[in-house]
Chain A
């Protein structure tokens, strides 16, 4: 019998490429979550990645799967207001904490209204395919909470973790500036 193959490693990249989803299963537990302000409970092993709990157990599919290894940022959510990569976050680690997904980003806005960031994205024709944009927006939202008028260097430092294959970076930068006003460095890179 041949050696076992990791579905994600496909033999050429050992150990490093095994995502947390491939770890041995622990027992199933009831995990209590607070997602977008609502109490939710799921019966899953506590080491299941939050990404898949959101997408499959709670059917919140706005949070995207891109790499499974915290390399691309498509799966970014907020945990207690801070950006986290849900693809490598065990659901047990965030039990009881406030989780916000892209679907919950407009909470606090008047009914049906977009946040100032989302509005800037729409006005600036930022999205192309749009797949990475929930993650980009969650990163940007976390950035401007911490840093209300980010400089280009601050935008670079935060947003460089999120890959956009369509190349919308210049427009993401402009939209952040448009949403927050001119930064001290004048805004233009």
Chain B
């Protein structure tokens, strides 16, 4: 660590000295910690050594003396404790409970007996294994998580067999003990720890078949509920470390704006203020307490430059996209769409930028000290944070220790490490641990939005009213091209190649030639509908706005476009929207299964709806699962009211059916918020929304009844956290067409309905 910043309560003079170094453009490659490399020059860490655990302020709970650790996940202690290091993030999706159920099942311990904790990121874990997103955790963990637990079980049984001089086959495990029924004896796991350590780790651990599951497949209670209802659960924002300071970030008022000049003299005299630091992402006001930083921040006078997008506005972008004719790239091409004739229907659909807005605003604690940078932050990818912090500090990623507490929501947002990097910069500057907490406005205006899009879609109905051709053209912004952290790549890729890839990612995707970007068209390709001629294409565009994965990602845009347009086609063909789809899904049994399920649940076509109530249907395949919704809605004095949602999900197999149902319920409400009101707009480079008064969330009294049915197809496991988001907007738009006669081709629907009604009042349409 540099001399200038070592003083714990660095004086204004000392910290002033570093301000000029932090000017924009210079920070990215600057080595903050001059002593860091020298101090670790002799240390070679690659190769599976957990070098960071000893340096951590909070060691892993599984560092128990004398414990049996057959692998990095499972720990059995001599006093009969069974610990499981859950390598993913728990952000509400329930994976922590799901994985714990898999472990408890194979290890033959009660779910309540298992002590589950969040391990620190280390070299032992693969980067992809610790990343949480894409509704992949149960899908990818279903077998390996059980194998890890089964290995422990087999070694404990082998230890007992050795002790008693019997064959392992004659023993079995139950409730934390190994039992020898023939000789009426048993030993607890703790008693077998020493002997188990001597056993060979099985190369192919034997896992149960589904019909032998006792716990998996049941609607067990979440293991994280008790701490979450008592306030004990620790989220990133709750972390306190000794000598910690707290910081408010004053982010640029416009995209990419940098500080031109700053007068912090008043702020520095305010109680508790430790430092005011210019960073590449705005100004950090560091104080002993957060409330002191909140008071001091308005006293900092800042002049910003115009930034990287001073004239950028979302209305301008809409106009540009409407006029744009770039043909782009073909993602799917079947048959010949140009050879078909019949009744042609064409439409343009638009979706806005969206903020994730988890309830816990982005935050992080960083403690940059000596050879170590220790970070506590709710995140969806600790290796990305390690990589990003190491890049900033000019150190090796193994010197960055990341603790992942509970996440207070994420929805994709916590894949990105900005708050952690801000905390790293500030901790380096003040020489003490710093906690950065974004205000709600910081969070809403913090970018990483779902892309704004403009999609064109065209369908041709033949003489018999069948859909002969479908053309879909997406204009969206590449999320991959927005990525900037090399931490995306797993450690098996050599550091130099990782760096090159990180530096060139944007160019590779921008070029639209070397790497196919599937996100702009996902939800429009691989449709289950029997449409003989299909063409799906995309032409990405670029803006100064940074875009991100937002729960269900491209599907949240394209399923709306495709399924709302299916409704238009059905009406044009004078067919029932359900029957129209059903006829085209005869060879797609899982699509058909969820579609028929919601029709049955809602008594589609069999029940008279109350006057004014419209009903819409939509179906999709996303993240390996199939989902359909029927939504009933009406308009009450101009306000959309969602009455009822019927949902069916086929995720192949549900490890915990009740938690799967809860994910569908949550997805519906999350998606209704976005479909009704969600919209981030920008003008002159500034975001126009701020707190929940301007970025509206669905509330208790607005939430509809939701009925969920799970279909167990016994097929491959699919994702659960995201699929049910995608078909909500089209089902609602379709319901509103039936209720009002207005075809709503732009999200969010409430303001679009307002505009449609206003136009109708003026006599036009």
Contact = CB atoms under 8 A, between A and B. Distances in A.
Main secondary structure of the interface of B (DSSP, over half): mixed
Interface in B302-359: 302-304, 357-359
Nearest to A133: B228
A12 B253 contact: yes
Contact of B250 (A5, A63, A125, A171): A5
Main secondary structure of the interface of A (DSSP, over half): loop
A55 B360 CA distance: 14
Contact of B360 (A103, A129, A157): A129
B290 interface: yes
Interface of B: 91-94, 219, 221-222, 224-235, 237-238, 240, 246, 248-251, 253, 260-261, 263, 270-271, 285, 289-291, 294-295, 297-304, 357-361, 406-411, 437, 439-442, 445, 658-659, 662, 665-670, 686-688, 690-694, 697-703, 705-706
B449 to A, nearest CB: 16
A85 interface: no
Contact of B94 (A23, A128, A137): A128
A21 B246 contact: no
Contact of A21 (B291, B303, B408): B291
B221 A122 contact: yes
A81 interface: no
Nearest to B671: A167
Contacts of A16: 693
A122 B442 contact: no
A66 B443 CA distance: 10
Closest 7 CB pairs of A and B: A62-B231, A2-B303, A167-B669, A131-B408, A130-B228, A129-B92, A128-B92
13 contacts: A4-B299, A7-B298, A8-B439, A17-B690, A23-B295, A52-B291, A61-B234, A102-B230, A106-B230, A126-B229, A166-B92, A167-B668, A169-B698
A1 interface: yes
B448 to A, nearest CB: 16
Given A7-B298, A25-B270, A171-B665, A69 B699 contact: no
A170 B230 contact: no
Contacts, number: 270
B688 A7 contact: no
Given A5-B302, A11-B253, A102-B231, A67 B360 contact: no
Contact of B670 (A3, A60, A162, A165): A165
B700 A61 contact: no
Contact of B231 (A3, A101, A129, A155): A101
Contacts of A165: 357-359, 409, 411, 670, 697
A162 B697 CA distance: 10
A55 B439 CA distance: 15
Contacts of B249: 7
Contacts of B226: 114, 122
A183 interface: no
Contacts of A1: 261, 263, 301, 303
A10 B359 contact: no
Contacts of A21: 291, 294-295
B658 A125 contact: yes
A2 B302 contact: yes
A170 B703 contact: yes
A123 B221 CA distance: 7
A162 B302 CA distance: 35
A127 B225 contact: yes
Interface string A50-85: 001101110111111111110110100000000000
A71 B225 contact: no
A71 B693 contact: yes
Given A2-B301, A66-B361, A128-B93, A155 B700 contact: yes
Contact of A167 (B408, B441, B665): B665
A123 B220 CA distance: 9
A10 B690 contact: yes
Given A22-B294, A56-B290, A66-B359, A130 B303 contact: no
A156 to B, nearest CB: 4
Contacts of A137: 229
Nearest to A152: B701
